[in-house]
Structure 1
Amino acid sequence: MLDSDLFSVKDQVVLITGASRGIGQALAVGFAKAGAKVICASSREGGTRKTEELILQQGGTVKSVYADLSDHAAVVKMSHDALACFGKIDILINNGGTISRFPAAEYPFDEFQKVIDVNLNSAFQISQIIGQKMIEAGHGKIINIASMLSYTGGLTVPAYTASKHAIAGLTKALANEWAAKNIQVNAIAPGYFATDNTQALRDNPERNQEILKRIPTGAWGQPKQLVGAAIFLGSTASDYVNGHILAVDGGWLAR
């Protein structure tokens, strides 16, 4: 008989960045439904109000924090604010991110730097601050949100691609150092999901069809379809999973 607690995240405290919409919102609502205490983070004060409402409507427990993830000092403050919400964080999900599209030959360097700051540097900062507390507590789960562009190069998104390759590497580096501390660090690489980040692709008939033809399921993913993978990586079911990049892509990589 399956241990009923194996996949439980009940009463665990989870911090999710980029929780105002899309994947982050779906994960926040999913963890709340599973009984976790959720801390929603977004780039501005009040940015997660809709997510909070969805959680409260189902009787969940939620608090919010905010920071511009390109601002080093703001990220540090937000991390400490999050720790103060419930006195601990058991599960950290680094989901906050941004994307900017320009041909590589014309890519503005300030845009490149912003994407790296938001997608990569903030994830390290938050992981370091929260990770220190996890080490003291003797346990923890960190889940980074990678991408199909952790594996491929993409088109007109050199900064995003660089950041998501780096997120995969950071996941493995932290896992190597913290596995012995009973902290599991893994990543989820979503395939092509219907979110704000992919709106431009879905609005381009040619690119939309190219992508759909490669996905064996023949459909774009929906954010709620990532919840199961995140619950697994946030629960004791994944205690011997470390440094892994879990693709949730409808079979895109299999093609």
Structure 2
Amino acid sequence: MIFDRFRLDGQVALVTGGTRGIGLAIAEALGEAGAKVVIAGRSRNAAAEDRLAEAGVDCEFIAADLIKNDAADALVTETISRTGRLDILVNNAGLAIHGDSGEFPDPIWREIMTVNVDAVFRACRAALAPMRRQGSGVILNIGSISGIVSNIPQNQVAYNTSKAAVHMMTKSLASEVAAENIRVNAIAPGYIETDLSRGGIDNPDWFPIWRSMTPMGRVGQPEEVAGAALLLCSAAASYITGDVLVIDGGYTTR
């Protein structure tokens, strides 16, 4: 049956930034589909683990600070040490800092690029060896509509640049490993209600513009991203690779 192709029984999924927001929703969706889920974050979130346990998700937590050069390699190694395999990697951890380009400091630029681009590449690179040994694998990178359009009114050249890099990384890697039965895709969310976007949603100058530029007239919920993530991580998407799936309530249509 077609719905069986969405099942992930026997698979192991690693979700970075999986303790809250979009990452947690994706971890829950993958776990409900049968995957054993490893969530990674800088610090433990007991509420997130309780939520996953209540949903019947087989889950483990691994602490990882992806700003460190060796963190992604160590995270993948620890995941395989605990679970024996790695079938799905979701690169969700990210950092957003706004600022005027004429005054944007080098250290903040470097921090954004380290977390949003360098760590994503390092995790992809680390995942390739076990996926190649298994003869299959799925990588899902979380990009953003900010890698497609210059959204306003906030100034965020560093964040926009980093997410555009994630999209091209996704396409290039997908082309490189497609013949090895490893699929690589990305999701580009619009404005989703999470801790990361809370400041903008609460901003009386920003949010009315965000809402007016979104045809659906609202922000999205993490669960509305998680469903698409399940599709792209499952056999239901077996002929999809190198795609950047936009989930934005129509924002980029305008």
TM-score bracket for this pair, using the shorter chain length: over 0.9
Paired residue for 1:81, among 78, 82, 104? 78
Q: Which amino acid aligns with 1:122?
A: A
1:161 counterpart residue number: 160
2-side partners of 1:248 and 1:186: how far apart?
14
**1:10 and 2:9 correspond:** yes
Paired residue for 1:62, among 36, 42, 59? 59
Q: Percent identity?
A: 35
1:220 counterpart residue number: 219
2-side partners of 1:160 and 1:174: how far apart?
21
1-side partners of 2:55 and 2:242: how far apart?
33
Secondary structure (helix, strand or coil) at the match of 2:198 reads helix
Measured against aligned partners, the alpha-carbon deviations of 1:17-40 in whole angstroms (never above 9, x if no partner) come to: 001111111111222222211000
1-side partners of 2:186 and 2:224: how far apart?
15
**1:118 and 2:127 correspond:** no
**1:138 and 2:100 correspond:** no
Give the number of aligned pairs.
252
2:47 counterpart residue number: 50
2-side partners of 1:215 and 1:40: how far apart?
31
2-side partners of 1:153 and 1:208: how far apart?
16
Q: Provide runs of 4+ in structure 1 moved above 4 Å.
A: none
Q: Which amino acid aligns with 1:54?
A: R
Secondary structure (helix, strand or coil) at the match of 1:14 reads strand
**1:147 and 2:113 correspond:** no
Report deviation, 1:202: 1.0
1:239 counterpart residue number: 238
**TM-score after normalising by structure 2:** 0.95
2-side partners of 1:215 and 1:199: how far apart?
17
Measured against aligned partners, the alpha-carbon deviations of 1:181-225 in whole angstroms (never above 9, x if no partner) come to: 001100000111111221222122232111111212111001011
1-side partners of 2:10 and 2:186: how far apart?
22
Report deviation, 1:157: 1.4
2-side partners of 1:246 and 1:74: how far apart?
28
Report deviation, 1:11: 2.6
Q: Which amino acid aligns with 1:56?
A: A
1:230 counterpart residue number: 229
1-side partners of 2:72 and 2:13: how far apart?
17
2-side partners of 1:137 and 1:123: how far apart?
21
1:175 counterpart residue number: 174
1:107 counterpart residue number: 104
Contact 2:194 2:222 in 1 (8 A): yes
Measured against aligned partners, the alpha-carbon deviations of 1:209-249 in whole angstroms (never above 9, x if no partner) come to: 11111212111001011111011101111111110000011
Report deviation, 1:51: 1.7
Which ranges of structure 2 fall in alignment gaps of 5 or more residues?
none
Q: Which amino acid aligns with 1:171?
A: T
Report deviation, 1:156: 2.1
2-side partners of 1:77 and 1:187: how far apart?
23
1-side partners of 2:243 and 2:46: how far apart?
32
Which ranges of structure 1 fall in alignment gaps of 5 or more residues?
none
Q: Which amino acid aligns with 2:79?
A: A
2-side partners of 1:106 and 1:79: how far apart?
37
Measured against aligned partners, the alpha-carbon deviations of 1:35-79 in whole angstroms (never above 9, x if no partner) come to: 2110000013xx243221111122221111121111012232122
Q: Which amino acid aligns with 2:77?
A: H
**TM-score after normalising by structure 1:** 0.95
Contact 1:190 1:247 in 2 (8 A): yes
Query: Which range moves more in the overlay, 68-77 or 86-95?
Result: 68-77
